[in-house]
Amino acid sequence: AALVRAVGPAGLRTPHTGIMEYADGVARIPTAAIPTEDADRLQRLQDRGVETVLRLRMQARSLPQAPSANVVGEIPGREKPEEIVLIGCHFDSWDVGTGASDDAVGCIVTWEALRLIKKTGLQPRRTIRLVLWTSEENGIHGGAAYLKAHAGKASKHVLALESDSGIFEPASIGLSGPDAARAVMTRVMTLLAPLGLDKLGPGGGGADIGPIASAGGVPTMSYNGDSTKYFTIHHTPADTIDRIAKAEVSKAAAAIAVIAYVTADMPARLPR
């Protein structure tokens, strides 16, 4: 068997679940994650030379694949509907909790962003497409299926933004792309000054948008919640809706709506 130290900080003594991958031809031994506090205790015992014996009782199992689907909605562009600004999240989650932060709230804020744009009655120059991806947690199958369906149009994607890092304050927004794209989006971010999000950081992206972005050379962005708060409950029974603040949801949705609309309505597409 193999034990893995939980990825989150100490504090709740909650182990983080996740997926285990086995190479072909390798025996599939049991694996489990243990809380940070217990991992530290085992380390202290080992440091003192104490022989430790563990007994594992596990009920986890891998089930066969089953059919699923991505959920897609969009506002068609008025001039260049074939060019797409993509926003989204994944709607699957691990069964130990309710998946409120990973990634139900990502679905809420991206869906709300599209609704806000629709409510204004404004139709952007390019299409804004929302995708709620399936099966991210056990293999990014939704992202792969999206690429398969749109492989011939990968280069038509102007920007891809994912919300899959929680929305806990203090939040930030990151971008991965060429300097020319960063220069443009840095100006766009000034519109978010009232929200305190006018600084553009590095490292934008996401697992689900990864396949289409890589295929099309698409600049990527992400809405990033405070990582310490996020990973405290990430993939644990503590990931419940009571930890999500309404004000944080509204702020994230507004920021994503501004980024999506402005990028979709610019006269020239975002450089790549």
Instruction: Pinpoint the alpha helices (H) of the chain.
Output: 36-47, 105-120, 141-150, 179-189, 210-216, 227-233, 246-265
The tokens for 67 are 């059919």
CA distance 91 to 208: 11
Distance CA 85, CA 77 (A): 10
- CA–CA separation, 69 and 30 (whole Å): 30
Q: Are 235 and 154 in contact (CB under 8 A)?
A: no
CB distance 220 to 253 below 8 Å: no
β-sheet bridge partners, residue 87:
130, 161
**Is there a contact between 30 and 59 (Cβ–Cβ < 8 Å)?**
no
HSE of 99, CA atoms in CB hemisphere, 13 A:
16
Q: Please pick, among 136, 137, 162, 248, the residue that the annotation labels catalytic.
A: 136
Q: Is 136 an annotated catalytic residue?
A: yes
48 close to 68: Cβ distance less than 8 angstroms: no
Active site amino acids: 136
